[in-house]
Structure 1
Amino acid sequence: MTNPLLATWSTPFGLAPFSEISDDDFAPALDAALTAHNAQIAAIAENPDAPSFANVIEALETPCVALEQVLSVFFTVAGADSNPAREALQRAFSPKLAAHFSAITANKALYARVKDVWDQRDGLYLTDEQARVLMLTHRGFVRGGAALEGAEDTRMQEIKSRLATLGTNFTQNLLADERDWFMELSEDDLEGLPDFVIAAARAAGEEKGAAGPVVTLARSIITPFLQFSPRRDLRKTAFEAWAARGANGGETDNRAIAAEILSLREERAKLLGYASFAAYKLETEMAETPEAVRGLLMDVWTPAKAQADQDAEHLTKMMQDDGINGPLEPWDWRYYAEKRRAQEHDLDEAELKPYLQLDRMIEASFDCANRLFGLEFARLDVPLYHPDCRAWEVTRGGEHVAVFIGDYFARGSKRSGAWCSAMRSQAKFPDMQAPIVINVCNFAKGAPALLSWDDARTLFHEFGHALHQMLSDVTYESISGTSVARDFVELPSQLYEHWLEVPEVLQKFATHAETGEAMPQDLLQRVLGAATYDMGFQTVEYVASALVDLAFHDGPAPADPMAKQAAVLDEIGMPAAITMRHATPHFAHVFAGDGYSSGYYSYMWSEVMDADAFEAFEEAGGAFDPDRARALETHILSTGGSVDPKELYTNFRGRLPGVDALLKGRGLAAG
């Protein structure tokens, strides 16, 4: 029988036939796909015809369908619905895939043909998009080590393979720590917790097979527990488990892995002639240099720390009023910050959460996309990889645009966090190809599922990434959708979060789970009035993580990353009661792969733009101004990586932004 991963998929919209695929299919399918891709690459490298854009660059842009099908399915389920078999496969596949793609970059005959096309570029009469693809292809080969020879070439391939293995190990260790730890709660331990926290704890207990409710390390459970539990001893136990992920000793400890990754990255950069890995990585980003990144982060750090220090004094006084002496601790902050928010804004999560139903927030994100871009969403009844998943066909003017898949609930088989990926990217070459886009989140289950304000923002954030994929309108897959500079990719996602705070959106979709009534006007005003509440804390924990990431990569790799982390935090004066959002042993953004390495700052870089971009809507007449929406799609969402991001943003806004709009939006501006 034909392996379903290698067959031509005659399913609706070309979706993967998940119900026909077993774990036993992946390994033989990957071997066959790699063989097919190797033959395709060899044909390009050994083509006797003179190198041309068509027979080199477009030939490289022609997808190996078998390989795309295998990898799209495997990496989807490996991240969102893992099991021991898939984890073993991932450990085996990582070095194999690294070796495969490294061999392409290292193929001297292929690089010679790419360079030949590059050298004759001025006489080829390429379109702007073709010229961009040629530049990016040539640059990718050079930065991948194509020009290296002999021992240096060999060592580069070894480094890439080892980094792939280490990244997989880091991810799986973190998943194991998150999956294996939970804290059982007695009925007495539930005292003081809102109903939605108790319901989530009971659901988590059922999933873990426990006798009763439990706290897990899923953010959607542990965060509200830290906010609401009056039991300081239980908060301490839960927080310390959360903070210790990846640093518990034994087989799942990530500290030595992090050190080796940093050392190998430095060696890789120096083989290519760069002073540091940060210099190598940032060369192709909007920021361009470590100095520019550090400048932005410190511009934000100073007012954020001042605000956090003031808040810490207030929360310490509240704690002392409860009869607790000693310093405010990290497991105290969220609890007293929540109590303070209830006092100062007459707002608490328990009052707000019934109005943030998951299904209604999904509808809200769709409705905004309809009003801005004319997109319509219709549910699809198709097999997917897990019963929690749901799918929609996305159309505009009756024409098919994309398939969107949502996988929203936390479970032990899913890695933490939230992400967007394309199981198939938009392209017009060699054939028209509509995207299949997936959002993966980790919300607590419930009947109905209720979100925190932060959860709702996450939903809008990831859907902003999805829009970037779905509205892409380029010729070549390599520059489609979110294939842009790392510090530009978060612009569409963070910008879309702003529509959650538009009053008319909340008035329509924030309806009570039991009564169906719209959010009362006074609650709406209190929600929006508290939008920047505790922003000192949120900004400090993020910027500290970004500064540590930058310090890891800007200079010699630290032999002891934990000591380096401590030194950086001491130097910037990290408040004692706040921890990094992602400490080194569980900093998956940085160590699970190269994506955000030396690039965690990019959320803040993009936020400078998203704050300024939303101001453009407000200045033009409102959040749904049609001209601004058209400009956003034309200049940013549809263009992928076909144009330099600075040019894209300037085309949309008329200028590049400053940090002022960001500080104002976070409530950190002076005065």
Structure 2
Amino acid sequence: MKKYFKLLIITIISVMALYSCKLKQEVDKSNPFFSEFNTPFNVPPFEKIMAKHYMPAFEKGMADGRKEIEKIVKNKEEPTFANTIEALDRCDDLFITVRDVFYGQAEANTNDSLQAIEMEISPKISEYEDEKKLNPELFKRIKHVYEKRADSNLTPEQLFILENLYKEYVRLGANLSKEDQESLKKINQRLSVLTVQYDQNVLAETNNYKLFVGEDDLKGLPESLVASAADIAKAARQEGKWAFTTQRPSIFPFIQYSPDKELRHEIFNAYINRGNNGNEYDNNKILAEIISLRAERAKLLGYKSHSDIVLEPRMAKEPENVFNLLNSLWEKAIPVAKNEVVEMQKIIDREKGNFKLEPSDWWYYAEKLRKQKYDLDEEELKPYFKLDNVRDGAFTLANKLFGMTFSPMNDVPLPHPDAQAFEVKKADGSHLGVLYMDFFARASKRQGAWCLTYRTHKMDADQKEITPVVTNVFNFSPPAGNKPVLLTMDEVSTIFHEFGHALDMLNNKNSYNTTFVAWDFVELPSQLMEHWVTEPEM
């Protein structure tokens, strides 16, 4: 009887184990992050990734990382670059993949679900990062490798990573007492939530405001802006009206060309007061708490200010150097600005305006002054800057300078239907990476223009090259009807600027996940490309 009972128990356990494995496999198959992407060049399968996939993937990525860190800490062998620094670098492969895709989408294609996830995951990521940086046993191993670095025969890249990693751990609290570290963790987690909330509030305020006007209020406005405003009003179910928003492609042409001082004042005030309206999206208390917590953290870490922490690993090194640069520019810029104010005020007085120039008037009268002094109308230049031509011009420049080519990709997952995809090849014709270009403003995208990676250019643990997936994101006015998108000179420069960042991210190649970028130096390639815009060769 006991024999049969024992056999029955074993059978039940085996069935349960098989069921558990089957269940686990089913869960894995449902989440794109738990299997190979199987897409062209292994780009993220954006159309398959749903909001529900992110949290399980984040949790698994951090759980996997914690297990690997525990192995590093419990390793009885003498700490070396390979068994400590390199092992630490490789422990976050899944976490990094999920993080890069999630935040790329949260920045450029967000929704209520992603915003809720961002609020939930931010303090968890902060906690996870602090677990690593404030782990005394892990830091002891890093410190040992750092102190033995002269005898370790490290490559220049390994030495650079080691030195910066050690200094980062020290700068961010590794030498603090246990009590102070606990205080630091709470501050970091709270800041992670506050900064996300701040950004989400600004986006909500941007999306919630529209200035509706009638046909009589369209005087002086460019045809393309009027067409775009009609589309915005139609989407808001206000056909027969025109709507302007605080998104950059809408507000700035409006205040540049509208002769209506009151309307300029209204939309400009809406723009500068986003998050300052005493409503559910008000950022005043959030900003005050961010400033207070940053000051408290700086003091805890032994710094004078938050700026000192941020600047120490950068080229500027300390706030005084930043202020010296800004003050030198300020001294030269103020006389010019004051002279421009005088000249603009003369225009107002000549037109019997009977008012003093206000900030909301600046763009309108700067345009008048430019026309008066140089007979230059920015709208007359726009037909020369068709979006597709400007994009192709940037590609041509990269080809002439570096031999790179950019070929459209049609059957590839896109981060948004508006985005365009290009395969980038080296001068020898071999594959270099994938570049997305996402040009148009929308409610799901934060303001500005930026460049980031869905996958960085690096070598994996087996020294196999992982090619990059890079995205350039902009906020230009979308096409109105069948008319081509025409850009201002400033928008042309923006494309070349962000394209410079993309070239950097496509061509730089690291042996590890860990990189330490001097964030003030990172603007060099973008500035270099931007300066080509007005060269005769272009």
Cα offset, 1:31, TM superposition: 1.5
Which residue among 224, 229, 243 is the counterpart of 1:196?
A: 224
User: Which residue of structure 2 aligns with residue 214 of structure 1?
Assistant: 243
Give the unaligned 5+ runs of structure 2. Answer: 1-25
Instruction: Report 1:410-559 matches (<5 A).
Output: 410-430=441-461, 431-446=464-479, 447-479=483-515, 483-505=516-538
| Equivalent AA in structure 1 for residue 432 of structure 2 | V
1:6–1:70 contact (8 Å) kept in structure 2: no
Q: Alpha-carbon deviation of 1:449? A: 1.2
Q: Secondary structure at the match of 1:422?
A: strand
| 1:209 Cα offset (Å) | 4.1
Q: Distance in 2 between matches of 1:413 and 1:206?
A: 18
* Contact residue 196 and residue 350 of structure 1 kept, 8 A: no
Q: Which residue is 1:334 aligned to?
A: 363
User: Offset of 1:475 from its aligned partner?
Assistant: 2.1
2:420 aligned with 1:390, yes or no? Answer: yes
Q: Report 1:217-366 matches (<5 A).
A: 217-366=246-395
CA positional deviation for 1:213: 2.1
Rounded Cα–Cα distance in structure 2 between residues aligned with 1:29 and 1:137: 26
Contact between 2:294 and 2:306, CA under 8 Å: does it hold in 1?
yes
Structure 1 residues 414-434: Cα deviation after superposition (integer angstroms, max 9, x where no partner): 111111101111112423111
Task: Report if aligned partners of 1:222, 1:238 keep a CA contact under 8 Å in 2.
Answer: yes
Question: What SS does the corresponding residue of 2:514 show, helix, strand or coil?
Answer: helix
Q: Distance in 2 between matches of 1:194 and 1:5?
A: 46
How far residue 15 of structure 1 moved from its aligned partner, in angstroms, is 0.4
Deviations 1:331-373 (A, max 9, x none): 1111011112122222112211121111111111111111111
Larger radius of gyration: 2
Could you tell me which residue of structure 2 aligns to residue 165 of structure 1? 193
Distance 1:195 1:133, change over 3 A: same
2:86 corresponds to 1:61: no
Query: Residue 436 of structure 2 corresponds to which residue in structure 1?
Result: 405
The change in CA–CA distance for 1:207 and 1:26 in structure 2 (over 3 A counts) is: farther
Structure-2 residue corresponding to 1:156: 184
Please list the CA deviations of residues 66-120 of structure 1 after superposition, one character each: whole Å capped at 9, or x if unmatched. 2122112211111111111111111111111111111111111111111110111
| Map 1:37-56 → 2, pairs under 5 A | 37-56=65-84
CA shift, 1:63, in A, is: 5.3
Query: What is the one-letter code of the residue matched to 1:391?
Result: A
Out of 342-351 and 200-209, give the one that drifted further.
200-209
Kindly state the Cα deviation for residue 473 of structure 1 after the two structures are TM-superposed: 3.0
Asked which structure has the greater RCO (Cα within 8 Å, sep 6+), the reply is 1
Give the Cα–Cα distance (whole angstroms) in 1 for the partners of residues 237 and 431 of structure 2: 43
Change (3 A) 1:502 1:207: farther
Letter of the 1:465 counterpart: H
Deviation string 1:418-457 (CA, Å, 9 cap, x unpaired) is 1110111111242311111111110001231111111111
Q: Distance in 2 between matches of 1:206 and 1:472?
A: 45
For the Cα contact (< 8 Å) 1:417–1:441, is it kept in 2? yes
**Would you say the 8 A contact 1:203–1:445 is kept in 2?**
no
Residue number in structure 1 paired with 2:12: none
Distance in 1, matches of 2:178 and 2:51, equals 39
Q: 1: distance between equivalents of 2:61 and 2:162? A: 25
Supply the distance in 2 between the matched residues of 1:21 and 1:403 (Cα, whole angstroms).
19
CA apart distance, 1:275: 2.1
1:468 is matched by which residue type in structure 2? D
| Counterpart mapping for 1:566-585 below 5 A | none
Cα distance in 2 between the residues matched to 1:138 and 1:225? 51
* TM value normalised by structure 1: 0.73
- Which residue matches 1:96? 124
Q: In structure 2, the residue corresponding to 1:250 is in which secondary structure?
A: coil
**Matched residue count:** 502
Does the 8 Å CA contact 2:68/2:91 hold for their aligned counterparts?
no
Indicate the SS of the match to 2:79. Answer: coil
Aligned partner of 1:39: which letter? K
Deviations 1:395-426 (A, max 9, x none): 01111111101111000111111111011111
Query: Measured at CA, do residues 292 and 374 of structure 1 come closer, stay the same or move farther in structure 2, by a change above 3 Å?
Result: same
Counterpart of 1:651 in structure 2 is none
CA distance in 2, matches of 1:130, 1:391: 34
- What is the RMSD of the two structures over their aligned residues, measured on CA atoms? 1.3
Shift in Å at residue 264 of structure 1?
1.2
Query: 1:137 Cα deviation (Å)?
Result: 1.1
Q: Which amino acid counterpart does residue 233 of structure 1 have in structure 2? A: E
Query: Deviation of residue 276 (structure 1)?
Result: 2.0
Aligned-partner Cα distance in 2 for 1:208–1:89: 28
Question: Deviations for 1:565-592, whole angstroms, at most 9, x for unmatched residues?
Answer: xxxxxxxxxxxxxxxxxxxxxxxxxxxx
CA distance in 2 between partners of 1:16 and 1:326 (Å): 56
Residue 207 of structure 1 and its aligned partner are, at CA, apart by: 4.1
Q: Equivalent residue for 2:155?
A: 127
Distance 1:281 1:74 in 2: 25
CA distance in structure 1 between the aligned counterparts of 2:447 and 2:236, rounded to whole angstroms: 16
| % identical aligned pairs | 40
Relative distance call for 1:449 and 1:411 in structure 2 (3 A) is same
Letter in 1 for 2:71: A
Measure the CA separation in 1 of the matches of 2:68 and 2:101. Answer: 21
Distance 1:163 1:350 in 2: 43
Contact 2:69 2:91 in 1 (8 A): no
Alignment of 1:146 onto 2:179: no
**Residue in 2 that maps onto 1:137:** 165
